[in-house]
Chains A and B, each alone.
Chain A
């Protein structure tokens, strides 16, 4: 069995599982953001008469779309979730300003290798970089099986493997490689599958970058993604997980893959996902010169400390191009604090950036990030679908922090090399 199958078998109390099996497994953590916690709460309260919460300690809410509600309606929605949590003894509530949901969970150590994590958020597979089986489930799954029984149903996925070789050019980051993969496979390139990310390039990568790959698995249609745990996973878990004891399942030697794709990263240019989908990925050279109105470092695929460092290094002593609104959204409070300590925020402030509270940033435009018709944004966010950031005819390009920084300086999409 591979890592995913071993974790699912253990969660389901079985010796062995195979692709195609349907299992009901115990879950170790149930993650929701401010919107999905409200949706799940409504299902639990209206459709699950007399049910009680199985284990409130295994539930975590992170308010990240709203760092501070901008409307009364949003305020009521958040207040209802706070009351629900208090009523049911759910203590792990991270209110607005704590950061982007999964970054908050990782930073606070609410995970451990070998666990099953479900989330009402399609980017939940992110924990696959940490030796965890993690996937997104619906609000009814979460309310009916998760809240009430601490369980979830899964179809055991087939697993495909992507092997990355070679050394990337300067200015080409793991974000570019992950985005290239999404473009190459397309939005349906791995539908319903698990994707294992491997090869020398992946092995050399730090966890902070590895998380991008399982996170972006949703955008190739996959159920989950993972990196077979190694010494880096173990060191990260020992340093960051709150769990003292954990087992770290790894692939057996005779793992079977339904498909293997090999990618040489050495020839890649920086990659940009263009409207209208995350799979419409082009080398930056093909779209350089597109004028931008907004540049943002933030979101579940951005706002990491490394992203802030990249932006600050590029903008030190300089200023964003005239007419460009530059937005910086740290992914967590710890990142915000470290960025203050290192002087990054001062550098970015002087470069004309607006610094926003740790949150999901412009993702879905709750507190920020709505665009008018024909406005253009380039960001490190994860999604660019029409209607997600204001007007359906606004255009949102997704790129690495390097490319966003170069574009902010140029006032148009620019090659960072």
Chain B
């Protein structure tokens, strides 16, 4: 079982290709926001970039507050999402300690499912899929 990691974010150039890829390939959206990974600067473009994404908590606090079972714990950390049973209550967003879950204007929620499709769209090799037990430390 692998999870998405962002070990080389200091190489990020802010092209947002990863976010666009996740939205396009995973969530079937054209977006830089409704995706499992979202890139933003840490206080202006002169300060480098941060990737907002699921850190694969195990167990994940977002699953504990989900009233419908739309979010359940994924083996090894992170969540399995059943969008068809989500009632868009937003509890998961409030429960996530690292702001990894976003919602669109009609309330649909988006979170990384650790599929790794974004990795090949990073031109700077910032992202990497790593076996769960091989993750040495969590890097933002």
Asked if chains A and B come from one complex, the reply is no
